[in-house]
Structure 1
């Protein structure tokens, strides 16, 4: 398979860029107002209707594409080439970007806690914590770079499974009717999602979390199997209208459940029913995006190619820039849609300008281009 699969490039770019919109939307989400540092005084349930759909599909889709391209590299160049590529493209950027990103986030958040007149509940709590004489330092976290940490982990697990030939029965599943995987994948995800709160949190700790390995690892494995069964997406095309209808019904139920059972300290794990809704939505929305992407995005497009090339660097850089902009917007009495648009557009513009100046025509493109 030497032809470039444009839709995979484009879906990876869209999954990364959706993260910018998702993180920008959380500032205006009623559900996240008590928990998110940049939470604004204004919020709208329409934001929740947008944000949690992105949350359920963007990282599962990213890990499917990552698994697909991992299998692609192994098939064309071997396992050693994949390990070398992962060191250059993931380990080195993570080691170099993590301290810079965390320092920038900490600096802007401390400034906001001390200077913003209308702080979010989280900023107000931080302000009180900073004034305590025996305040403990914040625990170390991977922040929004957690996906790099898990990509490295999945690369090792992928090598172990291939070496021990533990996945030899999985290709038989891909040869069966798509109904088997469409039903089986959500069932596989339910136990992982039932062990954490809903919506599922980001696994930002340095200690690997088993639920995240089971959840995101299943999508990574699915992507690797897609490479071995290139006709599976063509066979799932007739199922897409039914998947879209099922996702619409499940999503309405999921939003209703979030209103009835909002996340909080007293609800550290999701009910099995909510976990089943999350699992079905994550799996089916991901397959829906793959099927629609193959149908409509599998052609060269200069704009999408540029976004695909810049999306990795954009995602690494976006959160410190977004937080700084939203902290500056907090005290303004502007309508939330205007703040949301300014924060999102300003973040994307800043990241693309930085990519153009620092990465595209420099040696850094080998690492994050």
Structure 2
């Protein structure tokens, strides 16, 4: 990759770090979901606000970057080699993760509440029934689905097979149209499902019905961005200050309506405010972060090179480090402002070191 584009790899690595921040914060927030893996009695509203804000932009940005990098890979390697690479790097970790890493994550729900029996009995029974979950590996399943959609479109739409073209700044109507469509999708699904509903009945695909189409939109926005040469020297780069202002305003707007969803979530105006706030915040954070990283974090030094190269492994392994680390910290009589940083630092570093070590093993590095 051209050196001036390293900032996108660095951004992806920081987004994955924010996934770890989200999962750590869920352990110490007030009003945590009752099913969350480990709920520490040391809690603070600070972590509740962290969860509410961080939860919004991270996965849209992940799917956007996946789309941005997918089309050039498909054009460069062709369909067979593209899918050979995705099978090794996405499909196999997805399957192995669901079979061997998701079950101990779900087992922690019982273990942390003193209700656990033998692990193998849990794996053979409840895990494949009422407690089935793909844990963090749901992202890989949806990614495979989106790659399939892209591959079908690639075969039938020759415009996707052509190289990117130089673009002028996109029309102001693009973000307005994009946010409007995403908001309508989010709000429409909210008429049938609660905001934080997960559907895992189909085993193969685990998803949030309010967000799945939004994520598909971001994936295709990433494809469009690459086709239009966004973020290159000749192409479009968002302006930092305007989008930063939109980010701050939309964060306040979203927190206001998200808070009202707990008591007035059945009211259509509240649902609309929540949907609009979610989608404006997600889009503005994406624009702000890409502009900031291009301007200030366009580095390929030793730290960023290692962190970026290890970020996928951190994503794959961090859930066990976070949940079991939080479980052992239950016995520590300390403030959540001590526990949470310890857990974040310990889980991130341990997964980073583990990934670096595994990448040195012949035959393993290709999966990470």
Which string of whole-angstrom CA distances, capped at 9 and with x for unpartnered residues, describes residues 66-97 of structure 1? 11111121232223322111111100111122
Q: Identify which of 160, 185, 206 aligns with 2:178.
A: 185
Distance 1:55 1:360, change over 3 A: farther
Partner of 1:300: 300
Distance 1:27 1:365, change over 3 A: same
Partner of 1:73: 73
Query: Are 1:33 and 1:40, in contact at CA under 8 Å, matched by a contact in 2?
Result: no
Distance 1:223 1:107, change over 3 A: same
Query: Are 1:233 and 1:291, in contact at CA under 8 Å, matched by a contact in 2?
Result: no
Note the C-alpha offset of 1:13: 1.0
Distance 1:337 1:284, change over 3 A: same
Distance 1:26 1:137, change over 3 A: same
What root-mean-square deviation, in Å, do the aligned CA atoms of Structure 1 and Structure 2 show? 3.2
Scaled by the length of structure 1, the TM-score of the pair is: 0.84
Q: Which runs of 4+ in 1 moved over 6 A?
A: 171-174, 263-270
Partner of 2:139: 147
- CA distance in structure 1 between the partners assigned to 2:167 and 2:35 by the alignment: 41
Note the C-alpha offset of 1:167: 7.2
Note the C-alpha offset of 1:109: 3.2
Query: Are 2:24 and 2:343, in contact at CA under 8 Å, matched by a contact in 1?
Result: yes
Distance 1:101 1:257, change over 3 A: same
Residue-pair matches, total: 350
Query: Are 2:20 and 2:344, in contact at CA under 8 Å, matched by a contact in 1?
Result: yes
- CA distance in structure 2 between the partners assigned to 1:55 and 1:40 by the alignment: 19
Which string of whole-angstrom CA distances, capped at 9 and with x for unpartnered residues, describes residues 144-192 of structure 1? 1111001100010001122222977xx9996563422221221121123
Query: Are 1:22 and 1:51, in contact at CA under 8 Å, matched by a contact in 2?
Result: yes
- CA distance in structure 2 between the partners assigned to 1:211 and 1:203 by the alignment: 10
- CA distance in structure 2 between the partners assigned to 1:268 and 1:91 by the alignment: 39
Query: Are 2:26 and 2:51, in contact at CA under 8 Å, matched by a contact in 1?
Result: yes
- CA distance in structure 2 between the partners assigned to 1:111 and 1:351 by the alignment: 22
Query: Are 2:37 and 2:108, in contact at CA under 8 Å, matched by a contact in 1?
Result: no
Structure 1, unaligned runs of 5 or more: 116-122, 124-129
Structure 2, unaligned runs of 5 or more: 117-121
Partner of 1:138: 130
Distance 1:62 1:231, change over 3 A: closer
